[in-house]
Amino acid sequence: MKIVSRIFGIIAIFFAILFCSMSIYRAGIDKDKAEAELTEAKQQIEQFREQAKTMTGETKAYLDGEIANAEKVINEAPKGSTYLIVQIFLGVLLVLSLAFGYFLFRPNLNTVTKFVAAAVIVTLIVYFASPDIARGKYSGLNSRTLALLSGIPVIVAGLFAFLAAKKAVVKVA
């Protein structure tokens, strides 16, 4: 059973490394896109404000309403620091998956138990910290879904490391 746990643990670690690295890369791309779109939107709002100064009547009221809606969207948009925090926690998940690879072959039940609990907590943090931006028809996975897909293989790898450590403790006793 220990060999089976190690084999499945290694497979889970490969998936964890793949999804964590994809998520880190995706968060970086999303950060760059968001910052570029925000600066462009702010420039457009300034242009609309200049145009609104010269207008009167219903057109001015309509333009002022659109400007207010655009400013609301800009203020609610995720900041670059949010993506940086998500990247840091995804890096922690990546390191935890590598640690589980170590613990598959050097079992330590107490440490593995603590690391599995840490992996669950970090997965929840990454999930809730990831911006929930609806994706278009062809734009790929939602950031929260990708964060969940990154955390689950890490937790599974931790569980297999836990099983390997549990078998090692039973064998010694």
Rounded distance between C-alpha atoms, residue 47 and residue 51, angstroms:
6
Instruction: Chunk the chain into consecutive blocks of 10 residues (it has 173) and report each block's average pLDDT, rounded to whole numbers.
Output: 88 94 89 84 81 76 79 79 92 95 91 95 94 64 86 94 83 54
Write down the pTM of the prediction. 0.81
The label of the residue with tokens 């655009």 reads 70
Rounded distance between C-alpha atoms, residue 48 and residue 60, angstroms:
10
* pLDDT for residue 15: 95
The answer to whether 85 and 143 are in contact (CB under 8 A) is no
* Structural domain boundaries in the chain: 2-38+80-172
